[in-house]
Structure 1
């Protein structure tokens, strides 16, 4: 889970194939990911204002806006299973794959 700059708390639902957000004031929203079996894991706030997440089952990284617009970026292989994600000070993304 991670906060965005607006104070929204973002959560991944590994088995639920979705990203959830709890907004200030308690408003809850759930955004289903396209397809099935994506298994989102880590989520972090990106320098572009969107939230970025890893897809353990999707061999991809994902980007979701505050409005729920999802973009997926394939990692170019199979069974890469990214399980961690962080952005460095140079705005480069780093992800751990399994195993």
Structure 2
């Protein structure tokens, strides 16, 4: 159970579920959560490669912390954009947001 393939399958499953969520959701908040799930799947893969293959144990942890900080910034910016769209359109549906094209 403690092998690289197990962690890679879990990371790929998280990434795939997130990708499916981005493609299937029409709600902007649901899409944002799905993107976060994709980033967490990538983080699991970084940590798995770090644990089993990296000569320096802190490299994968630093990359994972950097990606987590990037995900937090992306979530804050994404939520502020969604809030601005909601104030303008009174909806967070993606079809309504496409009406803003000029």
| TM-score range for the pair, normalised by the shorter chain length | under 0.3
Identify, as 1 or 2, the structure richer in helix. 2
Q: TM-score normalized by structure 2? A: 0.23
More relative contact order in 1 or in 2 (CA 8 Å, sep 6+)? 2
* Higher alpha-carbon Rg: 2
